[in-house]
A and B are shown apart, each in its own frame.
Chain A
Amino acid sequence: AQKVTQAQTEISVVEKEDVTLDCVYETRDTTYYLFWYKQPPSGELVFLIRRNSFDEQNEISGRYSWNFQKSTSSFNFTITASQVVDSAVYFCALRHLYYGGSQGNLIFGKGTKLSVKP
Chain B
Amino acid sequence: DGGITQSPKYLFRKEGQNVTLSCEQNLNHDAMYWYRQDPGQGLRLIYYSQIVNDFQKGDIAEGYSVSREKKESFPLTVTSAQKNPTAFYLCASSIGLGDRAYNEQFFGPGTRLTVL
Contacts and interface: CB of A to CB of B under 8 A. Distances in A.
Given A42-B109, A43-B88, A95-B102, A104 B43 contact: no
Interface stretch (A14-22, A66-74, A77-85, A106-114): A106-114
B94 interface: yes
Interface in A27-61: 33, 35, 37, 42-47, 50, 52
Which 9 residue pairs are nearest across A and B when measured between Cβ atoms? A108-B42, A104-B101, A45-B107, A43-B110, A110-B42, A44-B109, A108-B43, A33-B102, A47-B104
Contacts of A97: 101-102
Contacts of A109: 42
B40 A103 contact: no
Interface residues of B, number: 29
In this complex, the member of A4, A9, A101, A111 whose beta carbon has the largest number of chain B beta carbons within 10 angstroms is A111
Contact of B58 (A46, A91, A102, A111): A102
Contacts of A102: 45, 48, 56, 58
B84 interface: no
A105 interface: yes
